[in-house]
Structure 1
C-alpha cells in the first residue's frame, strides 16, 4: 500500500502514489553536491531548541468556510527533476479550507468500515503513533486553529464537526489515536521507523485516501523496497534517499506538490493498482483507453516530510486535492497540462499508463477551451 511515499512530479496514469525518492534527489541537486543536504538553521546548542520555523502561528480570525483550497499548478512550475522542493514551516503542516467538513465525512466510513486498509499499528510504531498524536492533536490543532478546536478540561471539542477527543494519550490504544487523527484532519500520515538494520521501514499509517496501493502489504518494507517497481529508482535515487533519511533532524519540514491523473472517478480511497507492470499478466480495463471526460481528474498531493523529536520516526504527510479536468481546461491550463504530460520520461509515462488514456486526453487538452 505504501507506494505512497514520494512520487514523481509527473506521475501519470490514474493515480498510484510513487516515489519518495525523486523528491530527495531533486533536493540534493538543487542544493549542490551530494552530502550537503539542506537543513533548517538551528540556534543554540540543543537540537530541541525551537526556532521560528517550528513555532505554530495561531489563526485567531480563521473561518474555514471562507477559505479556498491552496492554489496549485505544479505541472506549470515543477520540472521532472527538480520537482519544486520547498522549505516548509510547522504552521503549514496541516491545512483546513471550505471543503473540510465534507472530506471529514468522507473519511469517517473508511475508518469505520475499512479499518484493515486505513489503520496500521504494531509494536515497532506504537510509540511514534502516541508521539504524533501529542504533536498534532494536543499541541498543534488547538493552537493553530483556535476557532475550530477548543479545549474543555481533558477534552478538545471540534466546533466544525461537533465531536470531541481526549487531550491526553492516557488510556488510548494506538488504533484509537490514529482514528482520532483521521477524523479531525484531512491529511494522511505514514510512519517510517528505523529498524535494527539501519533502514527506515514503513511500520504504520492512517491512510484514508491512499493513491492506488495497498498499505498493509507494504508494512515492513524499506524505502528502496517500496519503490522497487519505479523505473530508475534504484540506480539513481536509492543511496541518496537513504543518506537523506539518516541525516534528517527533528524539526525539519520540507514539502512539495505532486500530481497525477485519475481517469475513473473522483473517489480518493484507492487500493487498486493503476500503474503498468509489463512483467505481469495485468489486465487493462477498456476505460483506461477510453475514459469518460466527466470522470477524469487532476489529483494533486501536498506532501510534507518531518522527523519526530522523541522517537525519531519520519512522518510522511499527504494531503490530497481533486480537480475535474473540465475545470482545468476551462481555466486555460489544458495545454500546459498536456505539455507536461508529453515531456515525461518515456519509462515514467509508460509506467503511469499514459500510453492508454493519453491517446484520448492529450488531443482534448490541447484544444482551445
Structure 2
C-alpha cells in the first residue's frame, strides 16, 4: 500500500501540481490584493459621494450661460438703502458668485496683485487655514463647476483631477491635497472677481478677521486688521457702534450654515477707477492722514460710483463667517447720463455729517454735487 501511495504521489499529475502550486498561490494573493483595492476604491468613491453638501442641490446650473453676453447686475443702492444700516436681504446660494461681460478684464487686473502684492492681498494663518481649505472645497470644487458648467469643466476624479477654466484656459486642482493655503487663496483670486474675508470665532465666540484674499479693498488695509473683531474693524465708521454694533455681533452668532444674506455699500471714488485701494477712500480724523489737493478739485472723468455687493454666509465645518465682496465701478458721467445724478446728489447730501466726512464729502462735494444736480 505504501508503494502504491508513493507511486500515486509522484505521478506526473501530482508533480505538475507541486510545480504549479507556488504560482497558483501567488496568483491567488494578487487577486485578493486587487479585490481589496477595488473595495477600498469603491468605499472612497462612496465616501466622496456621501460627503456631497446637502446645499449642493441649491446650486442652479446655467447650462446656456455665456458670460460675454451678461450685463452687470442693476444696482442703485443710493435710492433704496440708507447709510449705516445693515440693509440686508436674503440671498440664495446660486447667486453667491456672479459672472458678467467684464470678467476677463477684472481677472487680468487681479493677477498682478496676487503675484506682486501678496503681502496685501493674501492672508493665511493657523487660526484660518482650516476655513481656507473648506472655502476652497465649497467654491472651487463644488460651486463653480456646478453653477457655471460652460465655464468650469471638471477633468478626472476627485483626487488627481482638475478643473479647467474655459474662459481663461487655466486649470486648478480638484483637491486641496498638496496645496499650501496661500495657493488655495491664489486660485480663488485668479478665478472669481469676489474677495473673501474670513471671520473666525475665537475661544469666547467673538468673530475676528483671520484671513483673506482681497484684491479690491476699498481703502481697507487687510494685514493691519487681522485679529480685529467686527466692532474693531468698523470703529472708524461714524454711527456703527451706536446703531449696529450689538445687532451685528448677535447676527453672526445666530447665523446657520447655508444662510446667505446680502447688502450693498457705496461711495464715490474721485481719483480713478483702480479697484486696489489700501487707503485714500475714507477720512480718519485724529490721524496723520494726508489728503491730496486732487480730492478737492477732481476731474469729472476720474470720478466713479464705487458699489460693493456684500454677502455673508457661515461654513458648516469650521463655523467661519465668510464676508464676500464683489466691487463695481461706474463712471459718474454714466450715472448722470442715465438720469440718476440728482438722486445720487440728494443721497449724498442726506448723509449724517459724520458719515459724510468719513466718505470725504467735505473735499470733493463742493465741485461734484452741483454738477450732479445740473440738468442733462
TM-score bin, normalised by smaller chain:
0.7 to 0.9
Distance across 1 between alignment mates of 2:195 and 2:174? 20
- Equivalent runs, 1:149-188 vs 2, <5 Å: 149-153=152-156, 154-188=161-195
- Output aligned runs, 1:1-369, within 5 Å: 50=54, 55-80=58-83, 84-153=87-156, 154-369=161-376
The whole-number CA distance in structure 2 between the counterparts of 1:334 and 1:347 is 23
Q: State the 1:277 CA deviation.
A: 2.4
After the TM superposition, list the runs of 4 or more consecutive aligned residues in structure 1 that deviate by more than 6 angstroms.
Answer: none
Q: Which structure dedicates a bigger proportion of its chain to helix?
A: 2
Aligned to 1:11: none
Distance 2:289 2:53 in 1: 52
Deviates more, 1:76-85 or 1:306-315: 76-85
Q: CA deviation at 1:346?
A: 1.0
Deviation at 1:83, TM superposition (A): 5.8
- Higher RCO, Cα 8 Å, sep 6+: 1
C-alpha spacing 1:114/1:98, structure 2 compared with 1 (3 Å): same
Q: CA deviation at 1:240?
A: 1.4
Quote the offset at 1:336 in angstroms: 0.6
Gapped regions of structure 1 (runs ≥ 5): 1-47
Task: Give CA-to-partner distance per residue, 1:323-355, whole Å, 9 cap, x none.
Answer: 000011011110010000011111100111101
How many residues matched?
A: 321
Other structure's SS at 1:231 match: coil
Structure 1 distance, partners of 2:59, 2:76, is 27
Query: Which secondary structure state, in structure 2, belongs to the residue aligned with residue 237 of structure 1?
Result: helix
Does the 8 Å CA contact 1:108/1:183 hold for their aligned counterparts?
Answer: yes
Flag the structure with larger Rg: 2
Pairwise CA distance, 1:49: 8.4
CA deviation profile, 1:237-279 (whole Å, cap 9, x unmatched)? 2221111111110000000121110000000001124322231
What RMSD in Å do the two structures reach over aligned CA positions?
1.5
- Comparing 240-249 with 83-92, which one deviates more in the overlay? 83-92
| Cα separation, 2, equivalents of 1:82 and 1:242 | 14
Partner Cα separation in structure 2 for residue 290 and residue 252 of structure 1? 44
> In the TM superposition, what whole-angstrom CA distance separates every residue of 1:33-68 from its partner, at most 9, and x where no partner exists?
xxxxxxxxxxxxxxx98469x710000000111001
5+ residue gaps, structure 2: 1-51
Aligned equivalents of 2:194, 2:111: Cα separation in 1: 13
- What does residue 25 of structure 1 align with? none
Q: Return closer, same or farther for 1:81/1:192 CA change in 2, 3 Å cut-off.
A: closer
After superposition, the Cα gap between the structure-2 partners of 1:268 and 1:81, relative to the gap in structure 1 and judged at 3 Å, is closer
- For residues 8-40 of structure 1, the C-alpha deviation after alignment (integer angstroms, 9 at most, x for no partner) is xxxxxxxxxxxxxxxxxxxxxxxxxxxxxxxxx
What does residue 16 of structure 1 align with?
Answer: none
Q: Following TM superposition, by how much is the alpha carbon of 1:74 offset from its aligned partner in structure 2, in angstroms?
A: 1.0
Q: Secondary structure, in 3 states, of the residue corresponding to 2:298?
A: coil
